[in-house]
Amino acid sequence: MAETRTQVGIIGAGPAGLTLGHLLHEAGIENVILEARSRDYVEARVRAGVLEHDVAALFEQAGVGSRMRREGLVHTGVELQSAGERHRIAFDELTGKTIVVYGQTEIVKDLIDARLDTGAQLHFEAEGVELHDLDTERPRLAYRHDGASHELACDLVAGCDGFHGVSRTAIPAGVIREFTREYPFGWLGILASVAPSSEELVYAHHERGFALLSMRSPEVSRLYLQCAPDEDVAEWPDERIWEELQMRLGAEGWTLHEGEIVEKGVTPMRSFVAEPMQWGRLYLAGDAAHIVPPTGAKGLNLAVRDVHVLADALIAWFGNGDRTLLDAYSETCLRRVWRAEHFSWWMTTMLHRRPDGDEFDLRLQLSQLRYLRTSRVAATSLAENYVGIERV
């Protein structure tokens, strides 16, 4: 078995793992990234596409934001729709900040290109990763790659391998606590080869269920429909999807443009948090530690903010032996995680129709939407959470 050594072993080459690896490399800290999937698979995964103000700025500052700056769509607000009427929440006026619409797949491609340019180690199709000796000063990662067995000795391990990865399950059951909320609906999402019908995102509350108009580029639209979490996508031919989108997103004086649907799929919705996010020499980040419903556009942003905190902590520890930030990692991240969980839950419950809901639930939703239309304070709270709160 071939054995190598590095300072930080990173499991997972999604946005969290790749961003952490880049930040550490720029700071002169050796790290190795292990990814179970192929490069083609990782670069093709369609995920989030909304970057908070400070997350977009981080990519710029880290030197991986040039394509995002050229191709990303800067948005200064979003629109909320109910009863066929729309109201705009102006982020720039309320907070002085904006968001950037730039697909997660593109971020991952940019980070992989940057990684390969540096020559730092990134191993795709690293199979059977096992974590050992996490409660010692010399944790180890065992895995298979290119038909051979390998062992990677580290000073620390970052688990960035998602909800179904191996990292979180390596923490003893008596140490970790898990908090879960399952939602009685999912999102039927499509990618369509048609220019977006709105310059900004539209969140629509409708009697038939929630709908969202988003985009990936000036030529590609991303749209969602509330559906059952176990919905059979085969029951949704293109004609039915467009008919439902027309109904739920319809507004006076506005037209939803239709085009070829190139991808469709159903995503169940849940909230999940694992505490603590660290044990021994293992530190969890991103979906390995928490999941949010996509309504608040927080999943990718939380992952990047986790590893930004972790990178700063590791730079201090490797630089001068100061463990203050490292020891506080879980507590620091969880403050933001629970704020994002609440915001995502609030947006979700305000905009989606529960299958077991009644008129009381509906009146509460309409009241909240009306409050957002009439109160600058309420609108500012939504805007502040959406663009990203600097300190929590």
Q: Can 298 be counted among the known catalytic residues?
A: yes
- 352 DSSP assignment: P
Catalytic residue (choose from 97, 205, 290, 298): 298
Catalytic residue (choose from 203, 224, 283, 329): 203
Distances, alpha carbon 70 to alpha carbons 51, 65, 67, 92, 284, in Å: 15, 9, 5, 20, 32
Q: Can 145 be counted among the known catalytic residues?
A: no
| Tens of pLDDT, residues 235-244 | 999 999 999 9
Catalytic residue (choose from 143, 183, 283, 386): 386
Strand order in the sheet with 99-101: 50-51, 99-101, 73-75
pLDDT beyond 70 at 1:
no
In the chain, domain spans: 2-74+100-179+271-346, 183-268+353-387
Q: By the 8 A CB rule, do 267 and 186 touch?
A: yes
pLDDT beyond 80 at 46:
no
Tell me which residue has tokens 């902590």.
313
Q: What ranges in 75-142 are assigned the alpha helix state H? A: 91-95, 104-118
pLDDT value for 82: 94
Q: Can 294 be counted among the known catalytic residues?
A: yes
pLDDT band at 31 (very low <50, low <70, confident <90, very high): very high
pLDDT beyond 90 at 252:
no
Mean pLDDT lowest among 38-47, 127-136, 332-341, 356-365: 38-47
- The pLDDT of 272-276, averaged and rounded, is 98
- The pLDDT of 166-181, averaged and rounded, is 96
pLDDT value for 3: 77
- The pLDDT of 116-130, averaged and rounded, is 97
User: For the domain bounded by 2-74+100-179+271-346, which CATH number is listed?
Assistant: 3.50.50.60
Q: By the 8 A CB rule, do 235 and 292 touch?
A: no
Catalytic residue (choose from 22, 25, 53, 75): 75
Q: Can 329 be counted among the known catalytic residues?
A: no
pLDDT beyond 80 at 166:
yes
Distances, alpha carbon 335 to alpha carbons 158, 167, 178, 392, in Å: 19, 21, 16, 6
Catalytic residue (choose from 196, 283, 294, 352): 294
86: Cβ contacts below 8 Å, ≥ 6 apart: 79, 80, 202, 251
Q: By the 8 A CB rule, do 217 and 106 touch?
A: no
Class of domain 183-268+353-387: alpha beta
pLDDT band at 161 (very low <50, low <70, confident <90, very high): very high
- Rounded Cα distance between 158 and 281, Å, is 8
pLDDT beyond 80 at 120:
yes
pLDDT beyond 80 at 54:
yes
How large a percentage of the chain has pLDDT more than 90? 95
pLDDT value for 365: 97
pLDDT value for 325: 98
pLDDT value for 328: 98
Identify the residue with better confidence: 184 or 253. 184
| Tens of pLDDT, residues 56-111 | 999 999 999 999 999 999 999 999 999 889 999 999 999 999 999 999 999 999 99
Structure tokens at 80: 């909320």
The mean of the pLDDT values for the chain is: 96
Single-letter amino acid code for the residue at 288 = A
Return phi, psi of residue 148, to 5°: -120, 155
191: Cβ contacts below 8 Å, ≥ 6 apart: 46, 216, 220, 221, 222, 261, 262, 263, 264
Return phi, psi of residue 237, to 5°: -65, 160
Cis peptide before 276 (omega within 30 of 0): yes
